[in-house]
Amino acid sequence: MSEVAAVARSRRVCARAFSAVCAASVAATVLALEARPAAAIGYSANSDAEAPAPRKRGKRAKSAEAKPAAETVSLARPLFAVVSLGGQHISIYNHNGLVDRSVISTGVPGHPTPEGMFTILGRERFHRSNLYAGAPMPFMQRITWSGVAMHTGHVTGHPASHGCIRLPGAFAQKLWGMTRIGERVVIAPYDLSPTEIAHPALPTPKMRSATEASAAALADAGLRDGFADGGAAALIDPRRYAEQLRVKSAAEAAAAAKAATEAAAALNAKRLEAVRASAELKAAEAAEATARAKAEAAAKAADSVAAKRQEVATAKPELSTSDGASPAEAARAKADATLAEARTRLEAARTAYNASDAEHVEAVRRSREAAEAAAAAAKAEKDAQLRTAPISILVSKKNQRIYVRQGLTPIFEAPATVREPERPLGSHLYIATAAGGDGALKWSVLSMPPRIAEARASHKKRGMVEEQRSAAPLGAASSAADALDRIELSDEVRQKIADRLWLGGSMIISDQGPSSETSAVGTDLTVKFR
């Protein structure tokens, strides 16, 4: 019995030891997991990326992955977005009003989301951050090149990002299918609502009759039969005209490129012919020089033989002399004939070389002209392509200038006069949102609040802007209509704008100049308030 009891006690001791080891192992695992930062697991609350969803397995997961990531939504365009930093939501509008709205998370105090008037500059379905260790940013829509974008992220309903605008996953995917590059995004301290505006100073588009458009452009665009002759013909708006120009210029650019290629090939052939003619000329010159040297040597030999014969004849006249030609004379005659033939060949080679050289020079000229024509046609095609994009205008009181871009590319800038320059203009964004039957555009306007400085101070204190509109404004900024009244532009500038203006076109009137985000090609005219 004592042995049995001893064995039982031994087994109980082993069991306790095994349990202790297991408990220690589990505790170590738990502590290790608790010690790991969230970022190491693939998700961080401070990251501008949404936490990765767990993978689904089985047939359902496969069918879900087979669906497209984002579907294109058909809406009346253009769209524009208003981001409320105070309300922490984004609102999408078109001419008919509010399209959609979602809660968001913007930048924390150390990394604030900038206030201002921006543009969607680029889009990537799946992007990784260049600033934050490659953090995933699905459905990214860039609004600055300094690192601010709208994308899928962890949304808390209050500031939580490094400056980006985080969107809930489903809404980010939906927004991706709605928006386009070139559409406007306004980031304000609190919520703004667009209002319709009609004013005689707003730009108007140039409408063309069918007869004003190039017959070639109409034919290339397949629209010649679409217009009736006479006064009842439909007018062509700038966007439609731009499409015609794009088709026409693309055909002309292709033809010019083909002509340039053919001219370059012809030039290469003429260059080879010139090289061959030059080689033949050099060979003929060498042959002529050799023949001339031999003829001169043969002449000297013949003269020497003749002189000796003369000496013999003088010294011994009784000796008979042969009247036939000596071998030296025969060699001389042969050398002279060879020289004459070499000179004939040299003259022919020189004539051929001169002709080939002239043809080569002409081929160079034609190739250069064809290349210049191809470059001009390519430039015209690029300009025609730009014309299909919305036009962007900024009138700056600070710089007393107007800036015009299209397709994120500078078009022109010119002087602009702002009456009463000592009085604030404010900052107003006018967007051409719809067109009437006669081609007249309908406009919506968003005016930034005049209390930007107070809003900015509130931002610094709280990390967000609360909707406090009761405080007195900092200055009597102009209303949207008054700002238009104070702008003076030349007729030439207005005509240039009218030639390119259509739906989606926008104009900013502001006390400020273009922001630091506005640089070369690939950026738009934006105003940034901090």
User: Which residue in 50, 118, 93 sits closest to 179, CA to CA?
Assistant: 93
Q: In this structure, what DSSP letter does residue 148 have?
A: -
Q: Give CA–CA dist 265/361, Å, rounded.
A: 14
| Beta strands 391-396 and 136-142, pairing class | unpaired
Catalytic residue (choose from 151, 154, 162, 360): 151
Q: Which residue has the tokens 């290349």?
A: 371
Torsion of CA 408, 411, 417, 419, to 10 degrees: -30
Give me the sheet containing 427-435, strands edge to edge. 195-197, 441-447, 427-435, 506-510, 391-396, 401-406, 409-415
Query: Quick check: is 428 catalytic?
Result: no
| C-alpha torsion sign, points 106, 108, 111, 116 | positive
Query: Which among 95, 127, 154, 164 is annotated as catalytic?
Result: 164
CA 61 to chain centre: 38
Pick from 444, 423, 424, 422: nearest CA to 433 = 444
Tokens (6 digits) for 526: 């934006």
164 included as an active-site residue: yes
**Bridge partner list, 406:** 391, 409
**List of residues 6+ apart from 413 with CB closer than 8 A:** 401, 402, 403, 404
Q: Catalytic residue positions?
A: 151, 164
